Amino acid sequence: MANKKSQIIEELFKICTKTKNYEFHNDLVKGVSKKFGFGNPFDVTKLDNKTKLPEILLKNDYAIIHVGSGKHRFIKGIDKVFHDFEPIKEKFDWEYKKSILNQYNSSESNILSVANNQRILHHFLFGQDTELDDVDILKRPKTYFPHRTKTSFEYYFGKNTKLELKNIQIEVDLTIEFQGNIGVFEGKNGKPDSFSIYQIYHPFLYYYNANKQTELQGKIKNIFSVYVVREKCKENDIIKLWAYTFENPFDITTIKFIKSVAYKLIQTN
């Protein structure tokens, strides 16, 4: 039996299909959520991988996008909204000394903290031993911790759909900068087979816009969006990373795969 969230989305889709208007407002979401006794209507349209789509959307090839001002839209083309993870191209056995907090919790921030502290993120992006020079801070990557910020975006979903998102809140899980190259990271547990592209696109666009409009102007050379997944295993956890960019920075559907690597954590202490 479908969970309440899926039932609400299915009801919303039926309403939109009947009226032939596939755009809907948060007010409708609240009303339908109340009907099903679901207490968090703002969570209804947040789907981080396509397996969470109800059967009616999978069957009809529809997904949900946010179009701003409290509005959402059912749009044709699931694979334009969600992206399947590519096969892992390279694998490393990564020796590390486990600290007491490495597995204290399984939150997204903990995943990224472990990968960052073990220099996995640095190795993945920059391919070097970043502990070589601890004297000159400019010669080693800098880490910037999670933050939320409000911003406005204008971008396209394909050639014909322009989105204007005003004063929306975005969350950047982790940022690393090294000699003008920036990596922005999204972290998850488990074995997801896909992800919602906006999760990595909004942080990408946030820094891309900043490089054009603020005191950063022209200082950022490259922006890499990286998805990090920790797969918990009986013996050795595995941290998998996929790097992406966007061929057209103002079109979310132009996601481009760069590389993927898996790191098997081999405990040495």
- What pLDDT score was predicted for residue 37? 93
Burial class (CB in 10 A: 0-12, 13-18, 19+), 131: exposed
Res. 132 pLDDT band, cuts 50 70 90 = very low
Res. 130 pLDDT band, cuts 50 70 90 = very low
- What pLDDT score was predicted for residue 139? 66
Instruction: Say which residues have a Cβ less than 8 Å from residue 96's Cβ, sequence separation at least 6.
Output: 118, 265, 266, 267, 268
Whole-angstrom Cα distance, residue 233 to residue 148? Answer: 32
Rounded mean pLDDT of 177-196?
94
Res. 133 pLDDT band, cuts 50 70 90 = very low
Long-range contacts of 123-132 (CB under 8 A, 24+ apart): 124/226, 124/241, 124/243, 124/261, 124/263, 125/176, 125/178, 125/181, 125/183, 125/224, 125/226, 125/243, 126/178, 126/181, 130/178
pTM for this predicted structure: 0.90
Token representation of residue 104: 């204290």
Rounded mean pLDDT of 184-200?
94
Q: Which amino acid is at 82?
A: F
Whole-angstrom Cα distance, residue 188 to residue 49? Answer: 11
pLDDT of residue 100 exceeding 50: yes
pLDDT of residue 194 exceeding 70: yes
Instruction: Say which residues have a Cβ less than 8 Å from residue 220's Cβ, sequence separation at least 6.
Output: 180, 181, 182, 207, 208, 210, 211
pLDDT of residue 269 exceeding 80: no
Whole-angstrom Cα distance, residue 141 to residue 70? Answer: 38
pLDDT of residue 1 exceeding 50: no
Angle subtended at Cα 78 by Cα 32 and Cα 74, rounded to the nearest 5 degrees: 35
Least-confidence region, from 93-97, 132-136, 192-196, 251-255: 132-136
- What pLDDT score was predicted for residue 101? 62
pLDDT of residue 135 exceeding 50: no
For the chain, counts of helices (H) and of strands (E): 7, 14
